[in-house]
Amino acid sequence: MSVAQRSSRPAVVAISSHVARGSVGNRAIVFALESLGFPVWSVPTVTLPWHPGHGPAPRIVPDNATFADFMAALAASPHLGEVGAVVTGYLGAAEQALPVSDFIAAARRANPDLLHVCDPVIGDRGGLYVPEAVASEIRDGLFSTADIVTPNRYEFAWLTGTQAGDNSQIIHAAAELAARHVLVTSAHSMLAGGTGNLLVSDGKAVLAEHRNIDNPPNGPGDLTAALFLARLLEGGDPEKALQLATASVYELVARACKRGADELMLETDRDSFARPMAMVQLRRLATRPRRA
């Protein structure tokens, strides 16, 4: 059976962490994309028993030479033309950034329309939770050249060297980036007790808001990156992709929390990927012209 017969959708290469138990990293990214009909090539940068937030989590990180050989083999694959997008997330070592970047370059040669989504998994409000060398390599080698970036507000501030103290500061800094679509999660909400995802794209800024949920399971950022990409690959405009991705993730988090689950229940709530019912409010915010 030919590739065209197997799937009418492009393959997505997902390069991030893998956990044995849980719904973070590639466990979330791959499930979401495959649920929406996209074939996925999954590349683990580190393997853990669970998210470290659940307790001590021994790491299996491929040695640098083996990882580089692995990425080079994918880059030389006769199937590389299947690939329409690459998602990069958590890196297990700073030395992984260059082989990943080289692979993306090869994939772009095979498909000039390829989309690279950089979800820079480096930290949160408590600061960096990866070594600074890893964060710097992601910033310089992946974030700076991606078509789409999906940092949380704290990662955005670190990567851009800005304060991100309000949405205006985020919008101004986002306009200076090379990425076509800048999606900042945990942006400043205009709703009391709310949170939002701020998209700066095509000279426009749109905030998708919903009420905040305390102590959510890990994984919403991974899912947001994957679902926003999926909606764009389906042909949706960026604003609609933002709305659907935000609604799906909000619904998944709300349902997991209602059950008292310590992880997102993707297999139980898989309908939320294709047909989210949650309501999110969209606001268009003022922008300033992008620098030429």
Contact, 79 vs 13, CB < 8 A?
A: no
pLDDT in tens, the chain (292 residues): 344 445 689 999 999 999 999 999 999 999 999 999 999 999 999 999 999 999 999 999 999 999 999 999 999 999 999 999 999 999 999 999 999 999 999 999 999 999 999 999 999 987 999 999 999 999 999 999 999 999 999 999 999 999 999 999 999 999 999 999 999 999 999 999 999 999 999 999 999 999 999 999 999 999 999 999 999 999 999 999 999 999 999 999 999 999 999 999 999 999 999 999 999 999 999 886 555 5
Residue-range domain boundaries for the chain: 3-285
pTM of this prediction? 0.95
Confidence at residue 8, expressed as pLDDT on a 0 to 100 scale: 83
In the structure encoding, which two tokens stand for residue 257, read together?
């929390």
Confidence at residue 5, expressed as pLDDT on a 0 to 100 scale: 46
Confidence at residue 30, expressed as pLDDT on a 0 to 100 scale: 98
Contact, 246 vs 210, CB < 8 A?
A: yes
DSSP category for residue 85? E
Contact, 62 vs 36, CB < 8 A?
A: no
In the structure encoding, which two tokens stand for residue 117, read together?
């989504």
In the structure encoding, which two tokens stand for residue 55, read together?
């307790």
Which amino acid belongs to residue 276? Answer: P
Confidence at residue 291, expressed as pLDDT on a 0 to 100 scale: 55
Q: 195 — phi, psi (to 5°)?
A: -145, 170
Assigned architecture for domain 3-285:
3-Layer(aba) Sandwich (3.40)
Q: How far apart are CA 96 and CA 87, in angstroms?
A: 14
